[in-house]
Amino acid sequence: MSKQRTKLVVGNWKMHGRLADNAVLLEAVAQGAGALPANVRVGVCVPSPYLAQTQALLDGSRVEWGVQDVSAYTHGAYTGEVAAPMALDFGSRLAIVGHSERRAYHRESAELVAVKTQRVLEAGLTPIVCVGETLEEREAGKTQQVVGVQLDTVLAKLSAQESARIIVAYEPIWAIGTGKSATAQQAQDVHAFLRARLAAKSAAAADVALLYGGSVKPDNAEELFRQPDIDGGLIGGASLKDKDFLAICKAAGAVGALSVKQ
């Protein structure tokens, strides 16, 4: 069971955004985050071209920011790539690696995701390592096998201390952008499994934040976040609407407050 009482909610904008729209959204999120209880951390991972704007608008606020992917290299002749140190130059603290869309559309292997995780850590950022199974894999009873390999491949490249510096996001592929969400119990079961794998790596790693992602909305967020091994969410579509995103953050705060009282 997670010992953490702080909840973390991170928005993943994916390939969305324009300067004018970003300004409205970021200013609303920054203002809303300021009214959240102290037990909630808030972050947004934006398209890299908007890092400068994000830094300018969020600097000094409670909202952390970061990127949705990084290169496996720190520099060199890799046209179009964005290195982790470049993201750091713009005040980034977070970097998503291994999102299912990267694994599927860009054929990223578990080994490549592990290398990218190393690059993120070396740059001083916090990697959000995504794992998840397809509907076919779940129906075949292979969920633990699939997410276990995805996570273990990353952990194999990390020291015990490094493994305690990551965040893990469970995103069932069949629930991403489909409107379907894993039930709270289904999500909890996978999170508990992932927690055990992390604990096998090191005692400190057992307490890393485990986020759930997959059609999280204001009306199901509180039930999901109430689960003992779900420490928050990686939010896709709902993060593009300030009212929805902040409602999810408030749900995290309400659950966190309950856990403190208990």
Residues with a catalytic annotation lie at 99, 171
- Farthest-apart Cα atoms in the chain, separation: 54
Calpha distance 152→114 (Å, rounded) = 9
Contact between residue 176 and residue 214 where contact means Cβ atoms under 8 Å apart: yes
Residue with tokens 């990353």: 154
3-state secondary structure string across the chain: CCCCCCEEEEEECCCCCCHHHHHHHHHHHHHHHCCCCCCEEEEEECCHHHHHHHHHHHCCCCEEEEECCCCCCCCCCCCCCCCHHHHHHCCCCEEEECCHHHHHHCCCCHHHHHHHHHHHHHCCCEEEEEECCCHHHHHCCCHHHHHHHHHHHHHCCCCHHHHCCCEEEECCHHHCCCCCCCCHHHHHHHHHHHHHHHHHHCCHHHHCCEEECCCCCHHHHHHHHCCCCCCEEEECHHHHCHHHHHHHHHHHHHHHHHHHHC
Start-to-end CA distance of the chain, whole Å, equals 14
